């Protein structure tokens, strides 16, 4: 099932809050809610609101990342650093529930294997995250899965090293399509007129091979969160 919510930031944040609240009532594991989050505009849009959200029980939420750049955890380019500064520090998220992707490890393949093991330990041998929050890049990429990349065919690994990302930096870790589409709910956020064309392609082209479209169609439940500008070229 693919749904869309179109509105201003308040409307989109409220919809995301509803999704989190609903999933949190009956999480996929007995540990509590599990999320995977991204960097970019979904992070800067929603994390400050999550930090101020008293109704969420972040203390019993496992936080994973959909992707991470090969930079130290203190680097301003780090998706982890962004989440820490905008959300997790003020939410006082417990350290053992925050599962950083160690994409700064020189042995990226080993870091991917370790993260895969961590995912399986927390959300099951065939990992089922409650919610994955993705942004969509201007080329239709989500997480660090880029259009036409061989990793889109990855069927065995839950986490993979990327050595040739067209978006800098080239080295990254990413969740793969099987684990993203296994999530109970996938939320894809896109904001601004610069995303309008790619939003239309990802949503309206029935056989689109854009990574965002593959995730949206492959997941059991996808919710697009779009502002009016990003939704501006949708025809239906
Ligand atoms: C990253 C992000 C990435 C991001 C998209 C969309 O590390 O680069 O996790 O996957 O979500 O590029 O970013 P914008 O929403 O900022 O365009």
For residue 54, the model assigns a pLDDT of 72
CA separation for the pair 49, 172 (Å, rounded):
27
Contact status, residue 45 vs residue 225, Cβ threshold 8 Å:
no
Dump strand ranges (E) for 71-171.
Answer: 131-135, 159-162
CA separation for the pair 133, 153 (Å, rounded):
21
For residue 111, the model assigns a pLDDT of 98
CA separation for the pair 226, 65 (Å, rounded):
21
CA separation for the pair 149, 102 (Å, rounded):
22
β-bridge partners, 6 = 226
Choose one of 82, 137, 177 to mutate for the ligand 1 pocket test, by most ligand atoms within 8 angstroms of C-beta. Answer: 137
For residue 187, the model assigns a pLDDT of 98
Å from CA of 54 to ligand 1 middle: 27
| The CA-based dihedral angle spanning residues 95, 99, 102, 108, taken in that order and rounded to the nearest 10 degrees | 150
Tokens standing for residue 158: 């839950």
Å from CA of 136 to ligand 1 middle: 6
For residue 96, the model assigns a pLDDT of 95
If phi > 0 it is left, if psi is from -120 to 50 it is alpha, else beta; for residue 143 that is left
Nearest residue (CA) to ligand 1, atom 1: 39
Nearest residue (CA) to ligand 1, atom 15: 41
Minimal CA–CA distance to 118: which of 85, 139, 148, 96? 96
Choose one of 38, 187, 190 to mutate for the ligand 1 pocket test, by most ligand atoms within 8 angstroms of C-beta. Answer: 38
For residue 139, the model assigns a pLDDT of 97
Segment 177-220, tens digit of pLDDT: 999 999 999 999 999 999 999 999 999 999 999 999 999 999 99
Tokens standing for residue 124: 């099951």
Per-state percent for the chain, helix, strand, coil, to nearest 5: 40, 20, 45
Query: Which ligand 1 atom sits closest to the C-alpha of 167?
Result: 8
Query: Which ligand 1 atom sits closest to the C-alpha of 134?
Result: 11
| pTM over 0.85, yes/no | yes
Burial degree of 67 (CB within 10 A; 0-12, 13-18, 19+): buried
Neighbours of 73 (CB within 10 A): 15
Dump strand ranges (E) for 33-171.
Answer: 34-37, 62-65, 67-69, 131-135, 159-162
Choose one of 37, 39, 198 to mutate for the ligand 1 pocket test, by most ligand atoms within 8 angstroms of C-beta. Answer: 39
Residues of the chain where predicted confidence (pLDDT) is lower than 50: none
């Amino acid at each position: 099932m693919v749904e869309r919510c179109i509105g201003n930031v308040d409307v989109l944040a409220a919809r995301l809050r509803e999704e989190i609240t609903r999933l949190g009532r009956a999480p996929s594991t007995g540990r509590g809610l599990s999320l995977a989050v991204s960097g970019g505009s979904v992070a800067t849009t929603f994390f400050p609101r999550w930090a101020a959200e008293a109704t969420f029980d972040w203390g019993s939420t496992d936080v994973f990342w959909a992707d991470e750049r090969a930079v130290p955890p203190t680097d301003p380019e780090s998706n982890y650093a962004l989440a820490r500064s905008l959300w997790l520090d003020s939410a006082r998220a417990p350290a053992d529930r925050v599962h950083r992707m160690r994409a700064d490890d020189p042995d990226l393949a080993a870091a991917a294997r370790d993260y895969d093991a961590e995912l399986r330990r927390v959300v099951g041998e065939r990992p089922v995250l409650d919610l994955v929050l993705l942004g969509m890049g201007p080329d239709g990429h989500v997480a660090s899965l880029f259009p036409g990349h061989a990793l889109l065919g990855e069927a065995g690994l839950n986490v993979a090293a990327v050595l040739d990302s067209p978006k800098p930096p080239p080295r990254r870790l990413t969740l793969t399509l099987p684990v993203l589409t296994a999530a109970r709910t996938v939320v894809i956020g896109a904001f601004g007129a610069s995303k309008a064309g790619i939003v239309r392609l990802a949503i309206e082209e029935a056989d689109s091979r854009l990574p965002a479209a593959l995730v949206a169609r492959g997941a059991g439940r996808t919710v697009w969160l779009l502002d009016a500008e990003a939704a501006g070229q949708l025809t239906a």
